Structure 1
Amino acid sequence: MRRFGLPLALALAAAVTAPQALAQPATPSKAALDKLSACRAQTDSAARLACYDETVPGLLAAEKSGDLIVVDKETVTKVQRESFGFNLPSFSFGQKKEQAIEQVESTLREARKTPAGWRFVLEDGARWDQIDTETLPLAPRPGAKVTIRRAAMGSYILSVSGRAIRVARVN
């Protein structure tokens, strides 16, 4: 019974403190941003200014230390386009699900037949490999327009020269 004493005490301590940890804001910078937002509700001009003067230095310090990163929508869209097709952890960059990129359009730099199927290289260097057994009657030519869209169950469909095949992102 004695050997369970310390682990049991640690487990109980964790169970007691876990709800408190969950109730806290996710990050200090999020709390500072919430406080800055609350400053706007101040009706008295002097109180509002004092609130801003108290809050802004914390936000600037968080940004300077790297705890808070400010990213514009254009950069987010660029990163989402470049990572389209990768199975990355979910991170929304503050965007709503309906704003997520569902398809990309590009130009084919290269298409070559491999033992497993076709490999497509787009103008930005993204490589996609065929994962189904669909055949292409003609080899796609460099410069052809390509559309890649999300499909069922996390897969992707590449359309080129009027044909569609299932692909997976390689690089």
Structure 2
Amino acid sequence: MRLPIAALACLVAAPAVAQDDTSPLDPLYACRAIEDSTQRLACLDRTVDELRAEEEAGGFIAVRRDVIEAADEASYGLSIPNFNLPRLPRMRMPSLSGSESSDMASAAMEETSDEGHTVLRNEQGQIERISGLAVASLSEGRRGRVTVRLENGQVWNQIDDQHVRLASARNRDDNTVEIRNAALGSHMMRLNGTGRWFRVSRSR
């Protein structure tokens, strides 16, 4: 699963994935602030050499933003112990006047993939909702609860007793689902952008 989002790079500390507010690039920014051009160039050269040596030694790895977002999307809904992707900061988009445009920045949080679905993220870059996911099959199990298999291989199971009407969905081959975050880390789903939301849990 891929998102056609601007190819911004971020740096991930290895081997741990969890991040604090510091960046391996901070020493470069500090060099850039030196007023004396000779000292600034010497600082930049030294710091670049140190960063290259640390990267080659495995101290950190450079990862494109779209790669992290794709992994975040692929793991959405799964409970994986000790697995945390780096925080994705809000993308700041300039306005035509050169200042930051809050409208463009907000729009950047919602992206449509080349598979046709749409991902909505909050200001921290975390997924809030995915809509337009193509359905491979729908089935009913115990107590009439629905199992939804998506074209991307994900399997979601209904875990509440909300009645889900499948009659019309079974007569079409272009079903899609929308999944959103709910309370206490749970998720809600609905079929084809209409009808009632029902609580689901991802099993695959």
- TM-score above 0.5: yes
Q: AA paired with 1:60?
A: R
Partner of 1:15: none
Change (3 A) 1:159 1:32: closer
Any stretches of 5+ residues in structure 1 without a counterpart? 1-25
1:32 touches 1:58 (CA, 8 Å); kept in 2?
no
The 3-state SS of whatever aligns with 2:146 is strand
Match of 1:169 in 2: 202
| Conserved 8 A contact 2:72-2:85 | no
Paired position in structure 2 for 1:84? 76
TM-score by length of 1: 0.73
Distance in structure 2 (CA, Å) of the matches to 1:94 and 1:40: 25
Structure with more contact order per residue of length (Cα contacts < 8 Å, sep ≥ 6): 2
| Greater fraction strand | 2
* Larger Rg belongs to: 1
SS for the counterpart of 1:110 is strand
C-alpha separation between the residues in 1 aligned to 2:33 and 2:39? 10
> 1:59 maps to what in 2?
51
2:153 to 125, 140, 144: 125
TM-aligned CA distance change 1:94 to 1:60, over 3 Å: farther
Q: CA deviation at 1:92?
A: 5.1
Counterpart AA for 2:197: A
Query: Kindly, what percent of the aligned residue pairs are identical?
Result: 35
For 1:163, the aligned partner's letter is R
2:29 maps to 37
Decide which structure has greater helix share. Answer: 1
Gap change, CA 1:168 and 1:43, over 3 Å in 2: same
Gaps of 5+ in 2: 1-17, 90-121
Correspondence list, 1:95-106, <5 A:
95-96=88-89, 98=123, 99-105=125-131, 106=133
Determine if contact 1:131/1:167 at 8 Å carries over to the other structure.
Answer: yes
Aligned with 2:72: secondary structure? helix
- TM-score, normalised to structure 2, is 0.63
